[in-house]
């Protein structure tokens, strides 16, 4: 019985996303970048929400397997991105026409980060930490898909 419980605990640790993985990702963001946990969650959510429309359902599922509370992060990020759109004075749509969707996505991310009290330069730093985490936890192929989805 003891052996069965040990095997069950090991299997669940390997198959279920751990909250420690999320804590490690958030801890990395807060310690390396000097941001609050709320800023880390918001910035991470904004990045994921920006990438979401450009990812396949398989890739989203794989990311959900390694990023605990991804649905919550996506909801937070979507809210941040949509609040930035409502305050947009048309520049984002003009930029979108000139640069395509990636231009308006970048502007949306800058607005989302600004609403969190973060400088737009932090977008790149958050992105690198997220990509490194996905590479470590989900592999290079998934990281490349996410990278491509962030800058379509």
For residue 105, the model assigns a pLDDT of: 64
- pLDDT of 20 > 80? The answer is no
pLDDT of residue 97: 43
Q: What is the mean pLDDT of the chain?
A: 80
- 91-106 mean pLDDT: 47
How many Å apart are CA 80 and CA 138, to the nearest integer? 26
Burial of residue 131 (number of CB atoms within 10 Å: 0-12, 13-18, 19+): middle
pTM: 0.75
Q: Which residues contact 120 (CB under 8 A, 6 or more apart)?
A: 109, 110, 113, 114
Q: Are 66 and 17 in contact (CB under 8 A)?
A: yes
Q: How many CA atoms lie within 13 A of 67 on its CB side?
A: 27
When pLDDT is averaged across residues 130-147 and rounded to a whole number, the result is 97
Tell me the pLDDT tens digit for each residue of 29-57: 999 999 999 999 999 999 999 999 999 99
pLDDT tier, 11 (very low <50, low <70, confident <90, very high otherwise): very low
Angle at 123 between CA 39 and CA 143, to 5 degrees: 105
CA proximity to 122, closest of 136, 108, 110: 110
Q: What is the pLDDT of residue 129?
A: 96
Helices then strands, each counted (H, E), the chain: 9, 0
Q: Which residue in this structure is represented by tokens 């990812």?
A: 55
pLDDT surpassing 50 at residue 88: no
CA count, 13 A, side-chain hemisphere, 60: 14
Position 98 scores a pLDDT of: 41
Whether the CB-CB separation of 73 and 38 falls below 8 Å is answered with no
């Amino acid at each position: 019985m003891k052996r069965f419980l040990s095997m069950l605990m090991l299997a669940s640790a390997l198959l279920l996303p751990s909250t420690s993985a999320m804590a490690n990702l958030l801890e990395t963001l807060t310690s390396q970048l000097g941001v609050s946990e709320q800023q880390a969650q918001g910035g991470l959510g904004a990045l994921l929400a920006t990438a979401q429309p450009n990812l396949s359902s398989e890739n989203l599922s794989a990311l959900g397997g390694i990023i605990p509370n991804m649905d919550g992060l996506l909801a937070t990020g979507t809210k941040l991105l949509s609040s930035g759109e409502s305050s947009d004075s048309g520049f984002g749509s003009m930029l979108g026409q000139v640069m395509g969707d990636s231009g308006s996505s970048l502007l949306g991310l800058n607005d989302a980060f600004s609403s969190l009290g973060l400088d737009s330069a932090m977008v790149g730093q958050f992105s690198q930490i997220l990509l490194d985490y996905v590479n470590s936890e989900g592999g290079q192929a998934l990281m490349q898909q996410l990278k491509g989805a962030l800058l379509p």
